[in-house]
Amino acid sequence: MPEAGGAEQRTIGTLRALILSVLLIGMLGTLAELYLLEHTEGWWQLAPMCLLAAGSLAVVWSMIKLAPASLHSLQALMVLYVLAGVIGTYQHYAGNAEFELEMYPSRAGFELFWESLKGATPTLVPGTMTMFGLLGLASIFRHPQLASKERRMEALRRS
């Protein structure tokens, strides 16, 4: 029986590593894209770039040194990613809506909403940050290193 549990733990560990690898590739690619797009006008545009840089470092740290400190850092950053995605989506939408109203002051209701979604600033792209945050949180969901000392001791006794 302990053999099966060990194989299951190895599989879960491999899946966690794969998720973190995919997350890191996505974060670095998005950071490069934002840099190339010169997404640097003011702190609202710099915030996702700083989060992507910090998150990339946290992922690497978590992959190199699996410890509560690295995992808690990753967890906190991933929560910020989710928030940044929601705020960024709002920012992009609001900017598009403002532009639409300058160009077409009579727009309102669903027409304004629809045209703002399709505006020059990609409204849904900041959702990538939310996706990264959820992916990072999924990678450490019920991670044994984050379990309380009592739960870790109980798991050791069972194996």
The DSSP secondary structure of 109-132, one letter per residue, reads: HHHHHHHHHTSSS-TTTTHHHHHH
pTM of the entire structure?
A: 0.85
Q: Is the pLDDT of residue 4 over 70?
A: no
How many folded domains does the chain comprise? 1
Q: What is the mean pLDDT of residues 47-64?
A: 97
Q: Which two tokens stand for residue 77?
A: 């950053």
pLDDT 10s digits, 103-129 = 999 999 999 999 999 999 999 999 999
For the four alpha carbons of 29, 32, 37 and 38, in that order, the dihedral sign comes to positive
Find where tokens 């050791």 sit: 156
Output the average pLDDT for the chain: 91
Q: Which domain holds residue 115?
A: 2-158
Task: Band the pLDDT of 66: cuts 50, 70, 90.
Answer: confident
Q: What is the mean pLDDT of residues 42-50?
A: 94
The residue with greater pLDDT, 13 or 82, is: 82
Distance of CA 138 to CAs 36, 54, 133, 141, Å?
29, 18, 9, 5
CA gap 25, 29 in Å, rounded: 6
Q: Is the pLDDT of residue 100 over 80?
A: yes
CA gap 86, 157 in Å, rounded: 43
